[in-house]
Amino acid sequence: MATDYPETGYRRRKQPELVHRALLDHAARLAVEHGLAAVTVQAVAEAAGVTKGGLLHHFPSKQALIDAVFADLLEALDRQLDARIAADPEPRGAFTRAYLASVFDTGPEANAAAWAALAISMLTDPHLRRRWSDWVEGRQERHRATDGTPALAAIRLAADGIWLADLTGVAVEERAAMRDFLIRQTRANAP
């Protein structure tokens, strides 16, 4: 069968889902390894092996790409939390226990660098900060019946403190004991 392609060339089938995923993954990797400032349209396009135009076909701007990486991380966190909640035989406090487990399991030794890069950006980027706030408020509303007490909210805020300590490299002494204590509190303070 004859082709219109030079002998040295090849024709790659378009696989937009794979290109989209590669762009997200490379943007996250660049943010982790070099900071969010390194996430440029050119750098991500080169890392993913596409043209700048190809990247802009999927994401019309750098901000759109960063938003998509952030949304991707939130979706992964949602799946993780939902799986943990579904596996918890005790509905009362299940969201808070799942949240605690996610924070403690993502500790400083885990590969949480993508979160770190975006979390630091969240501090200065009002758009990302709003997206995080909307996500937290949505999850809290969704689990209000099982996790709506001030005590459980305080436990989740304590988990945020652990997450911030991990993010900034502050050593948390007796980490396992702290995790166990907070988990016990979810059972004592469930609605």
Task: Specify the DSSP element, H or E, that contains 4.
Answer: none
Measured CA angle at 57 (ends 53, 61), to 5 deg: 85
Q: Of 60, 87, 103, which residue constitutes the final position of a domain?
A: 60
**What is the per-residue pLDDT for 168?**
76
CB atoms closer than 10 angstroms to residue 107: 15
**What is the per-residue pLDDT for 91?**
95
Assess contact for 186 and 96: CB atoms under 8 A: yes
Domain assignment of residue 34, given as a range: 9-60
Question: Are 139 and 182 within one domain?
Answer: yes
Report pLDDT digits (tens) over 116-150: 666 777 777 888 889 989 999 999 999 999 999 99
Please state the domain count of the chain. Answer: 2
Tokens of residue 112, six digits: 């949480």
**What is the per-residue pLDDT for 73?**
84
First to last CA, the chain: 71
Question: Are 142 and 55 within one domain?
Answer: no
Question: Are 55 and 84 within one domain?
Answer: no
The residue-averaged pLDDT of 94-104 equals 93
Assess contact for 156 and 96: CB atoms under 8 A: yes
Question: Are 36 and 73 within one domain?
Answer: no
Report pLDDT digits (tens) over 9-57: 444 556 888 889 999 989 988 887 887 788 899 999 999 999 999 999 9
Q: Is residue 3 part of a domain?
A: no
Q: What is the CATH number of the domain that holds 13?
A: 1.10.10.60
Q: Is residue 4 part of a domain?
A: no
Handedness of CA 113, 72, 139, 82 (dihedral sign): negative
Q: What is the pTM of this model?
A: 0.78
Assess contact for 186 and 97: CB atoms under 8 A: yes
Assess contact for 24 and 72: CB atoms under 8 A: yes
